[in-house]
Amino acid sequence: MITFYPGPSKVYDEVGQYLQEAFDSGVISANHRSSAFMQMLENAIGNLKTKLNVPVDYEVYFVSSATECWEIIAENLISDGSLHIYNGAFGEKWMEYTQKLTSIARSFSFETNEEPVLNAKINLSANDIICITHNETSNGTALPSEFLNTLRAQFGNIIAVDATSSMAGVELLWQSADVWYASVQKCFGLPAGMGVMIVSPKAVERAIAIGNRSHYNSLLFIRDNFLKFQTPYTPNTLGIYLMDKVMQQVSPIETVAQQTLERAQNWYSFLPKNGYQILVENESVRSKTVVAVKDTKERIALIKKAALQEGIVLGNGYGKDKETSFRIANFPAITDVEIQRLKNFLVSFSSK
Ligand SMILES: *Cc1c(COP(=O)(O)O)cnc(C)c1O
């Protein structure tokens, strides 16, 4: 069975071997205050920062999920308000979650085929946090690469970015935002069960100013621990071990991103040529890591079923396009051979 599900998604082929090595090394039986664990955590963070080109002064924390980051941001960085800029289900959920916790979340939504255009109507006060989804996994859109730089130049606010389905697959303009987060079961090619949160010095300053220490996942408490290469609670030791191994293994992000780009361009020309309609018409907002294909409800169900019979799992649609689309993950752990198998299937299905 091969999977193109955009999360949880295919893990790197080497993960099987790393699991055995983790067991043999004994570190997954070690106490999380032991030096063996702390060394491993330090290595994992170091390798991640090197391979993904994270600025030296940005800090990396491992948490439990991207969803947890919504809560960490709401409780630790939002004091006056938050502006959520989104065009799909994940951005909307982030806004709704924040609203439940803070009651001061505001929305700026835009259409699938548009780039967000922030005009003068947006009234931001200095302490408002801008919350934006880099890659909207639900509909296969992404922000054009220059957008975050423009946003950064336009506003002095803290910017938090959900990069759950793009981090480790494409290059991110780290300096153009203050908080970046992802879950490991997407472009990292790792088993589900961990989140990655990357914060700028400015975000740390804001967390200190707000001073929330009343939750086990308070940003300041997490930080106190991570500065010592420890964690506030007993962590996902195996997940951290695998992160360390995979970050050693992967090519630098420029190389990975180039492959992602080429494969994406390839999907976007292959699909229409073979009678499939891309959900996102505007090429400049198409995601490089999640490709969404649109069709009638009946045909979507047929394609998914036929694929499954060939041992191929396609991603279901998500949110409002749940039944009228399927999604193809274009994540780095997927191999060329697997992509070719899916293409062969799609060619033969469309000729039926
Ligand atoms: C998958 C995803 C999430 C949620 O990730 P969890 O690991 O379930 O917390 C959030 N945002 C985006 C954009 C996603 O793709």
CATH code at position 319: 3.90.1150.10
Q: Which helix (H) or strand (E) holds 297?
A: helix 297-309
Check: CB of residue 2 under 8 Å from CB of residue 335: no
289 in contact with ligand 1, CB cutoff 6 A: no
Q: So what's the pLDDT on residue 283?
A: 97
Q: What confidence tens digit (pLDDT) does each residue in 37-78 have?
A: 999 999 999 999 999 999 999 999 999 999 999 999 999 999
Residue nearest to atom 2 of ligand 1 (CA): 164
Asked if residue 28 and residue 44 are part of one domain, the reply reads: yes
Asked if residue 128 and residue 80 are part of one domain, the reply reads: yes
Asked if residue 269 and residue 209 are part of one domain, the reply reads: no
Query: Which residues are 197's β-sheet partners?
Result: 61, 181
CA–CA separation, 119 and 260 (whole Å): 32
Quick one: which atom of ligand 1 is closest to the CA of 133? 13
Asked if residue 257 and residue 229 are part of one domain, the reply reads: no
Asked if residue 94 and residue 154 are part of one domain, the reply reads: yes
Asked if residue 161 and residue 19 are part of one domain, the reply reads: yes
Q: What confidence tens digit (pLDDT) does each residue in 4-37 have?
A: 999 999 999 999 999 999 999 999 999 999 999 9
Concatenating the DSSP letter of every residue in 18-65 gives HHHHHHHHSGGGS-TTSHHHHHHHHHHHHHHHHHHT--TTSEEEEES-
Q: Choose among 86, 97, 172: nearest CA to 130.
A: 86
Which residues, in sequence order, are CB contacts of 72 under 8 Å at separation 6+?
A: 63, 197, 217, 219, 222
Is the pLDDT score of 121 beyond 90?
Answer: no
Asked if residue 320 and residue 263 are part of one domain, the reply reads: yes
Asked if residue 221 and residue 273 are part of one domain, the reply reads: no
Q: So what's the pLDDT on residue 119?
A: 77
Q: What confidence tens digit (pLDDT) does each residue in 209-242 have?
A: 999 999 999 999 999 999 999 999 999 999 999 9
Distance 317 CA to ligand 1 centre (A): 14
Domain boundary, last residue among 249, 278, 303: 249
164 in contact with ligand 1, CB cutoff 6 A: yes
Asked if residue 165 and residue 31 are part of one domain, the reply reads: yes
Q: What confidence tens digit (pLDDT) does each residue in 314-335 have?
A: 999 999 999 999 999 999 999 9
Q: What confidence tens digit (pLDDT) does each residue in 156-178 have?
A: 999 999 999 999 999 999 999 99
Q: So what's the pLDDT on residue 118?
A: 83
Concatenating the DSSP letter of every residue in 218-246 gives -HHHHHHHHTTT--SS---HHHHHHHHHH
CA–CA separation, 55 and 200 (whole Å): 9
Distance 35 CA to ligand 1 centre (A): 32
Q: What is the mean pLDDT of residues 283-309?
A: 97
Q: Choose among 201, 117, 179: nearest CA to 154.
A: 117
Strands, E assignment, the chain: 2-3, 59-63, 82-86, 105-109, 129-133, 135-136, 141-142, 158-162, 179-183, 195-199, 277-278, 290-294, 312-313, 315-316, 325-329
Distance 70 CA to ligand 1 centre (A): 10
9 in contact with ligand 1, CB cutoff 6 A: no
Quick one: which atom of ligand 1 is closest to the CA of 69? 9
139 in contact with ligand 1, CB cutoff 6 A: no
Neighbours of 51 (CB within 10 A): 19
Asked if residue 225 and residue 173 are part of one domain, the reply reads: yes
Q: Choose among 306, 98, 334, 51: nearest CA to 196.
A: 51
Domain boundary, last residue among 228, 249, 270: 249
Distance 99 CA to ligand 1 centre (A): 18
Neighbours of 254 (CB within 10 A): 9
Check: CB of residue 161 under 8 Å from CB of residue 115: no
Q: What confidence tens digit (pLDDT) does each residue in 93-104 have?
A: 999 999 999 999
CATH code at position 58: 3.40.640.10
Q: Choose among 245, 333, 215, 217: nearest CA to 47.
A: 245
CA–CA separation, 346 and 328 (whole Å): 12
* pTM of the predicted structure, to 2 decimals: 0.98
183 in contact with ligand 1, CB cutoff 6 A: yes
Q: Choose among 231, 251, 218: nearest CA to 333.
A: 251
Asked if residue 78 and residue 66 are part of one domain, the reply reads: yes
Distance 236 CA to ligand 1 centre (A): 18
Q: What confidence tens digit (pLDDT) does each residue in 259-295 have?
A: 999 999 999 999 999 999 999 999 999 999 999 999 9
Residue among 137, 190, 287, 288 to mutate when testing ligand 1 (max atoms within 8 A of CB): 137
Which residues form the domain of 278?
2-8+252-350
Strands 59-63 and 195-199: antiparallel
Distance 259 CA to ligand 1 centre (A): 23
Neighbours of 174 (CB within 10 A): 17
Check: CB of residue 98 under 8 Å from CB of residue 74: yes
Quick one: which atom of ligand 1 is closest to the CA of 137? 15
Confidence of residue 120 (pLDDT cuts 50, 70, 90): low
Distance 273 CA to ligand 1 centre (A): 31
Domain boundary, last residue among 249, 264, 290: 249
- Tally of domains in the chain: 2
Q: What is the mean pLDDT of residues 126-148?
A: 96
CA–CA separation, 36 and 52 (whole Å): 24
Quick one: which atom of ligand 1 is closest to the CA of 7? 1
Distance 347 CA to ligand 1 centre (A): 31
Asked if residue 121 and residue 160 are part of one domain, the reply reads: yes
